[in-house]
Structure 1
Amino acid sequence: MTRSMMTALKAIMITVPLAISSTSIIAEPLEIRVEMRDGTELSTLVYLPDGDGPFPTLVARTIYGPPIIPIGGELYDSSMKLTDFVPSEDDDDDDAAITAGWPLITENGYALVIQNTRGRNGSDGVDRSWRDDGEDGYDLIEWVNAQDWSNGRIGLFGDSAVGVSAALAAAEQPPALDALFLQTTPADPFGTDMAPRDGALRTESLLVQGGFLAFDVSESHIAGRGIDGEEVADLVPAIGGYVQGLFEGLEDPLNSDTWLAAPLGDVPELDQLMPFWSMLSDVSARETFRDETNALGKIEVPTSVVTLWQDTFAQSTFDLFADLEERDIPRELLVVNGTHYDIDDPRIFPEPRMLSWFDHWLKDEPRADRPVVKAATQGNAEFVEGSEVIDIIGVAERYYIAEGELVQTASESSNTFTSDPANPVPTQGGRYLLAASGALDQTDLITRQDTLVFKAAALSETRILAGPVTGQIVATSNAPSFDLSVRLLDVAPDGTASIILSDHLRIENEAKTPVTVPFDMSLIRHQLNAGHRVAIMVAGSDFPAWDRNPQTGASIFESADLQAAEITVISDANGQSYIELPFVEN
């Protein structure tokens, strides 16, 4: 979801119709209905550049409807001010940021095709939340290839949800597709980022995005779900009110009736309208979403990917790049500082990316003179470069959990805290979409009685943490099911504790015996200044980023019963709890 979409949604929660509203994008496109293999017709807009053609073509498929935003740090017109693209903090008008991006494509000699995905914004069919995007994207690429104005050189692009559609289409390997550009895009959105297989769900993404998907569905979708016109009037206030409660509750989830509800997500109207909603409580539906929206291992065309160190989909992006690396698919990776929505800001890019990528693969122009891997460093303005990811990562050093400390020699310790799902530890930064995200201060959390904090010695010199942060926790609990939220912190001399990375783990343990739980916080590049300490904080929740564990063995989506539980983190001869931190010299 783009920043502008969030702003618009906040303003129209209750009154938005569950049907298409027309959108104008400056120029007059060709409006075409393109037929998919099953006969479903999808609303499609075609923008042609000046000239006789045929033209190379860039394609995007969107759940939001046009217009599109600036992509890859590109500016439509270099004479425009950056403020024309990036509204000030007190300016709610995002229109300039989202309308000025697309003409750069046609003015650089490309045809542009934007298609509304199935069941949305005037397209026929039922919106099954990306599960049809592979085949539909394949069909659109082949349709473009057959048009007189197309020269058969075709690229797909997108960011966030639009990028998911592009990745899934590329994973179907349409013969006419030549290249791909993705930014802030999960290649495995449910299996890696939002619904890991251990059972925890990224509720701050799933609930709000799931509710948002109810807006701008087409009349065909509504009919396809067996809902008549009179019923729509009843659905609108219930869905709008619920999504409004989710958005407002993100500001203060510990006092939000919507977020603290148990069972959570009990909204029959959303379940009736949106197939997506079933994955919250239906484990088999969750598996289906994971399997049908996973593009890893399937993309065969040259691919450029862009992410941010605090993007909610960073892990999936890194997994995609590793997959491309392993299979030696032409590729490039740019990692910049910031969170998911910072990608809309052209100022964070070291150079424009998208058009030069497509100029090479679609126009046979020389490949841009830039490294395969380029990454920013959190905490300073430096970029590092390499020909592969291994060139920019350090060597892991193991730190063991002791009594309130992280030490480099194994020792025995046992530390216990009480986790109460009725009073969860709040989300306060990290790689999240809509909850509080980024490198935020955890100072008020590390003093809570329901968190454990382990600090290393203060650094005598500045060091760069660079690479995958992994480790394991040996833990036991008196509950049959419990969670471990493990957060890596940068603690300044004044006590400020900023989050660097985190991982969330769900453990089912009917035997209530000690279990060894590995964690993987993903890649990072972060500067730790002299005098700072690295620390980890362990808690039993990270709310509302992840669904609360009732600690009874039941799911929060099905049960109102919650119970407090004791959780003990152990290091002894039978198993050590530790974290591995990769460092490079400054």
Structure 2
Amino acid sequence: MTSYTTTVHGLATDVRLPDGAGPFPAVLVRTPYDRRRHRAELRGWTRRGFAALAQDVRGRHASPGRWRPYDGEAADGAATARWIRRRSWSDGRLVASGASYAAHCALALALEAPEDARPDAVIAAVPALGIADTAREPSGVERLLTRAGWWAAHGDRPDSEESALAKALAADPALLTHVPLLDLPRRLGRDLPSWPDVWARRERGRLIVLGARAAVPLLAVGGHRDHFAEDTADLWHRWGGPSARLLMGPWGHALTADADPAHRVDLGDLYARWAHAALAGRLAAGRSGAVALGGSPLWLTADTQGGPYAPALRLLHGAAFTADPEHPVRSDELTVPATGTPDRCLLVTPPLPRPLDLLGPAEARLRATADTPGADWAARLVAVTPDGHAERLAVGIVRRHEPPGHMAEFGVPLGRIARRLRAGTRLRLEVAGHHFPAHARNPHTGEDPVTATRLTASAREVHHAGLRLTALATRPQPTDPTEEILR
């Protein structure tokens, strides 16, 4: 194998070539997380017959310039794609690949670059689609913890300090409670001029809309525990190319790094086999894929359908509760206070008489009031096993604007669930006014949560809460994920 480092339009790029005369198809990974961390990945691609390249995006690590997250990636990617196709070792076919921000780079190249520079296939794993997509829920609620962590680690700097937020929280555990949130860079001791822009941009779904007009195959990979899970599934569902494949497992943002043995997948081998098939035109048209059913060893086809399931809910306490931003319900704790003034409405189902397979969308239905004109409604679904262990299944949060005291009926989407629950498990539904620090606190003053400097409590009343799930009525038919992806 041949490997070398070069600059492509000024950007530091590692190139690795297979043995042999070539020419070869190529794989391009553009990343802000240091191209050198991809050297093992490049070796894996070259062993499987691809020329492989990893590039530091502009302003990061060895690439000069100013780091402007989510800006300019299509243009820099296009220049690199054209450079690759002019090499003697290139056969002209190109796969754009990446995870998280690198997936954004791959998708921007495929969907926004000029036609002559676009790749022939795209692998997008846990895609961070854009600033607004990553910073806000579809309802507009701010994803505070992940964005504060990412910008503290990577924003407006040429390198990274992965533990920057953890160190700052160790020094000041109340760091994220200080207002206004726009002041966070000063409290971090960092110059972060792009931090206000994180919250100023509100346009979500731009790449998904463009994906509907895509003309190349897609492999979308995600995890049910990843904060971009819904974006991954939506990208696959709306992709307009000749074929789209989806692989979803019970994973977090690191994918199979935290997988149990039943759902481990050799992603490197699968990516290469899919890329060969995509470039050769061997993939069947349309959408297909595989979804892992957590809590079991099963993989199911991505189009497996369940039916409606509305379990009976019994109120434990908190039909009336106070959502106090000074004492918010925390996203990182599943312990439920048993005494004191209720800070949430708590409902529970009877124990399941038999195992239950949940596969599909979930929604909490509320009929409720708030005594403030602005209110967030967070719904968290938890499975409590017979031995008392609590496991979060799903979370959703919406922002409502109604006259104080107005009775409103609305749904809180909880996303898709893929989980087997054993007999004796209870489902616990918590309805609260905050889900902090995962999400910014609504100040209840009518001000923007990012710029607000004053917080006030909000009295809530839940008159009715229902739970709509999608369940499989019979034992599902298992499938092999590799077969589904390579179909």
Which bracket does the TM-score occupy, shorter chain normalised?
0.7 to 0.9
> Is 1:189–1:316's contact at 8 Å kept on the other side of the alignment?
no
1:547 aligns with 2:431: no
* % identical equivalent positions: 25
Work out which of the residue numbers 83, 88, 95 in structure 2 matches 1:155.
95
- Tell me by how many angstroms 1:526 deviates: 0.6
- Tell me by how many angstroms 1:188 deviates: 5.5
Q: Give SS of 1:501's match.
A: strand
Q: Which residue of 2 aligns with 1:262?
A: 179
1:397 aligns with 2:309: yes
Q: Which residue of 1 aligns with 2:467?
A: 579
Against the structure 1 CA distance between its residues 104 and 320, is the aligned structure 2 distance closer, same or farther, given a 3 Å change threshold? same
1:305 aligns with 2:217: no
- For 1:272-304, what per-residue CA distance to the aligned partner results, in whole angstroms no more than 9, with x for missing partners? 9545311355xxx31368658975434331111
Letter of the 1:373 partner, please give it.
G
Against the structure 1 CA distance between its residues 332 and 445, is the aligned structure 2 distance closer, same or farther, given a 3 Å change threshold? farther
> Is 2:224–2:249's contact at 8 Å kept on the other side of the alignment?
yes
Q: Which residue of 1 aligns with 2:482?
A: none
Comparing 59-68 with 182-191, greater Cα deviation is found at 182-191
Against the structure 1 CA distance between its residues 245 and 513, is the aligned structure 2 distance closer, same or farther, given a 3 Å change threshold? farther
Comparing 507-516 with 151-160, greater Cα deviation is found at 507-516
Work out which of the residue numbers 118, 132, 157 in structure 1 matches 2:72.
132
- For 1:147-171, what per-residue CA distance to the aligned partner results, in whole angstroms no more than 9, with x for missing partners? 2221101101111111111122111
Letter of the 2:272 partner, please give it.
L
Q: Which residue of 1 aligns with 2:299?
A: 383
Instruction: Measure the CA separation in 1 of the matches of 2:37 and 2:392.
Output: 32
Instruction: Measure the CA separation in 1 of the matches of 2:17 and 2:72.
Output: 27
> Is 2:58–2:64's contact at 8 Å kept on the other side of the alignment?
yes
Against the structure 1 CA distance between its residues 447 and 359, is the aligned structure 2 distance closer, same or farther, given a 3 Å change threshold? farther
Q: Which residue of 2 aligns with 1:80?
A: none
1:167 aligns with 2:107: yes
Work out which of the residue numbers 410, 421, 426 in structure 1 matches 2:330.
426
Work out which of the residue numbers 33, 50, 75 in structure 1 matches 2:8.
33
- Tell me by how many angstroms 1:396 deviates: 1.2
Q: Which residue of 2 aligns with 1:48?
A: 17
Against the structure 1 CA distance between its residues 179 and 200, is the aligned structure 2 distance closer, same or farther, given a 3 Å change threshold? same
**5+ long unaligned stretches in structure 1:** 1-25, 35-40, 70-98, 219-238, 406-413, 430-441, 572-576
Map 1:192-231 → 2, pairs under 5 A: 193-196=134-137, 198-214=139-155, 216-217=157-158
- Tell me by how many angstroms 1:28 deviates: 4.7
Against the structure 1 CA distance between its residues 522 and 444, is the aligned structure 2 distance closer, same or farther, given a 3 Å change threshold? same
Against the structure 1 CA distance between its residues 216 and 47, is the aligned structure 2 distance closer, same or farther, given a 3 Å change threshold? farther
Comparing 542-551 with 393-402, greater Cα deviation is found at 393-402
Q: Which residue of 2 aligns with 1:276?
A: 194
Q: Which residue of 1 aligns with 2:202?
A: 287
Against the structure 1 CA distance between its residues 558 and 416, is the aligned structure 2 distance closer, same or farther, given a 3 Å change threshold? same
Map 1:524-543 → 2, pairs under 5 A: 524-543=417-436
1:336 aligns with 2:278: no
Q: Which residue of 2 aligns with 1:178?
A: 120
> Is 2:384–2:390's contact at 8 Å kept on the other side of the alignment?
yes
Instruction: Measure the CA separation in 1 of the matches of 2:152 and 2:175.
Output: 13
> Is 1:210–1:277's contact at 8 Å kept on the other side of the alignment?
yes
- How large is the Cα RMSD of the aligned pairs? 3.2
Letter of the 1:102 partner, please give it.
L
Comparing 486-495 with 301-310, greater Cα deviation is found at 486-495
Instruction: Measure the CA separation in 1 of the matches of 2:6 and 2:180.
Output: 44
Against the structure 1 CA distance between its residues 292 and 171, is the aligned structure 2 distance closer, same or farther, given a 3 Å change threshold? closer
Instruction: Measure the CA separation in 2 of the matches of 1:197 and 1:308.
Output: 18
**5+ long unaligned stretches in structure 2:** 476-487
Instruction: Measure the CA separation in 2 of the matches of 1:152 and 1:54.
Output: 9
1:66 aligns with 2:54: no
> Is 1:246–1:258's contact at 8 Å kept on the other side of the alignment?
no
* Number of residues of Structure 1 aligned to a counterpart in Structure 2: 464
Letter of the 2:41 partner, please give it.
G
1:113 aligns with 2:53: yes
> Is 1:57–1:111's contact at 8 Å kept on the other side of the alignment?
yes
> Is 2:12–2:62's contact at 8 Å kept on the other side of the alignment?
yes
- For 1:371-411, what per-residue CA distance to the aligned partner results, in whole angstroms no more than 9, with x for missing partners? 932121111222223xxx33x23101234666349xxxxxx
Q: Give SS of 1:353's match.
A: helix
Where is the strand percentage greater, Structure 1 or Structure 2? 2
Q: Which residue of 2 aligns with 1:76?
A: none
Q: Which residue of 2 aligns with 1:457?
A: 350
Instruction: Measure the CA separation in 2 of the matches of 1:195 and 1:502.
Output: 14
Instruction: Measure the CA separation in 1 of the matches of 2:81 and 2:352.
Output: 54
Q: Give SS of 1:427's match.
A: coil
> Is 1:184–1:343's contact at 8 Å kept on the other side of the alignment?
no
Q: Give SS of 1:180's match.
A: strand
> Is 1:421–1:564's contact at 8 Å kept on the other side of the alignment?
yes
Q: Give SS of 1:127's match.
A: coil
Q: Give SS of 1:212's match.
A: helix
Against the structure 1 CA distance between its residues 168 and 328, is the aligned structure 2 distance closer, same or farther, given a 3 Å change threshold? closer
Q: Which residue of 2 aligns with 1:503?
A: 396
- Tell me by how many angstroms 1:489 deviates: 1.4
- Tell me by how many angstroms 1:418 deviates: 0.6
- For 1:488-523, what per-residue CA distance to the aligned partner results, in whole angstroms no more than 9, with x for missing partners? 111222333321011011222345412233222222
Against the structure 1 CA distance between its residues 139 and 344, is the aligned structure 2 distance closer, same or farther, given a 3 Å change threshold? farther
Against the structure 1 CA distance between its residues 295 and 275, is the aligned structure 2 distance closer, same or farther, given a 3 Å change threshold? farther
Against the structure 1 CA distance between its residues 555 and 244, is the aligned structure 2 distance closer, same or farther, given a 3 Å change threshold? farther
Q: Which residue of 2 aligns with 1:358?
A: 275
- For 1:190-233, what per-residue CA distance to the aligned partner results, in whole angstroms no more than 9, with x for missing partners? 33x53135332101111111122236528xxxxxxxxxxxxxxx
- For 1:456-508, what per-residue CA distance to the aligned partner results, in whole angstroms no more than 9, with x for missing partners? 22211111011111243222111122211101111222333321011011222
Against the structure 1 CA distance between its residues 474 and 372, is the aligned structure 2 distance closer, same or farther, given a 3 Å change threshold? same
Comparing 155-164 with 450-459, greater Cα deviation is found at 450-459
> Is 1:356–1:367's contact at 8 Å kept on the other side of the alignment?
no
Comparing 442-451 with 267-276, greater Cα deviation is found at 267-276
Q: Give SS of 1:341's match.
A: coil
Q: Which residue of 1 aligns with 2:288?
A: 372
- Normalization by structure 1: what TM-score? 0.72
> Is 2:136–2:143's contact at 8 Å kept on the other side of the alignment?
yes
- For 1:9-68, what per-residue CA distance to the aligned partner results, in whole angstroms no more than 9, with x for missing partners? xxxxxxxxxxxxxxxxx985231232xxxxxx3332322222222211000111112124
Q: Give SS of 1:518's match.
A: strand
Instruction: Measure the CA separation in 1 of the matches of 2:123 and 2:198.
Output: 31
Against the structure 1 CA distance between its residues 342 and 443, is the aligned structure 2 distance closer, same or farther, given a 3 Å change threshold? same
Letter of the 2:94 partner, please give it.
I
1:321 aligns with 2:243: no
Instruction: Measure the CA separation in 2 of the matches of 1:445 and 1:343.
Output: 34
